Structure 1
Amino acid sequence: MRVISGKYRGKKLLSPKDDYIRPTTDRVKESMFNMIQNYIYGSKFLDLFSGSGAIGIEAFSRDAKHITMVENAKDSLKLINANLKSINANKDNIELVNRDVIDFLKTSGEKYDIIFADPPYDYSKINEIIKIVSDNKLLSDEGILIIETEKDFTLEGCSDFIIEKEKIYSISKLTVMKINNLER
């Protein structure tokens, strides 16, 4: 695993030692960041189910202003901290939150420009996450929500969002959504 672009380009990141954490592959990560490159600079980026921290670190490397990483697995938190240490990240601009994603979203109150969620493929509350993001108005007006799922997963209850892009990579699917301002 490595940082693909930006100020930490080429920097190697530690990978998980087991299969519990399924990092986004470099191919999918690069494609995703190419899709959202116009949104990154100066953005407030929320990385849900952060795993190794690779997505948040990539966003930070590409000049996102502030990164919030939400993770509650102890091994993942250790891995994220080790990866942040390896790049000597400025902790003023990166916040690591040890909390359940649903609980965090329900109480956040912050607005983000980009929200990325890559839950485990067997996670049953993806549609609930989308609803909470919408109901609690956690995205800025021009913000985007990116969900990485298994390729056959169907998103439901997304009437507050417009799917901008959807792309399948082997077993994974990336869905990029924006707020449907006509519905608000």
Structure 2
Amino acid sequence: DTVEVAFLGRSNVGKSSLINSLCNYRGLALVSGQPGKTKTINYFDIESKEDISETEERRYHWFLVDLPGYGFAKTNKDNRNMWSSFISDYILHSERLMLLCLLIDGRHPEMPIDKVAFDWLVEAGVPLQIVVTKVDKLNAKEKSVNLAKIKAMYPTDSPPIMYSSLKHTGRELLQQRINQVLVGEEA
């Protein structure tokens, strides 16, 4: 069975840009000026590799799962209940989901809706990785203050990963984190 790593976040958190950056493939996940465009669960079939030594590499086959953003602004009120039931069905019932990356906008770490999502995911027992997006838009002081807030508000087993899709900062760290999960699965 192929392992799944899912990505979830508020509608304009920069999820599509992060997916494109992580996969080094522009246009893989469609970036839209209109947040909340992704209305379906999209699966991307990924093969990634990791250099073990100068002569040896390890290859991984996994699914990157792009979940629709939550808290959409421009939908009818029925959709406002956090996220659609099919998203919670997926999160609660996918046996292949080994990691969920919850994306938090580095500029706005204290959004109540993100805390609600986090608490729900923790309650559901989902293995979480916090990924802090748009860090290129922060100065050094803001980065350190906001990272401290994020660590306090969203405690997980592994530290939050600061990510900039623009500069690919954090890309290697996130790939390593995903590889750890994949190795654990394949071991």
Higher helix share: 2
Smaller-chain TM-score bracket: 0.3 to 0.5
Q: TM-score, normalised by structure 2?
A: 0.38
Higher strand share: 1
Max Rg structure? 2
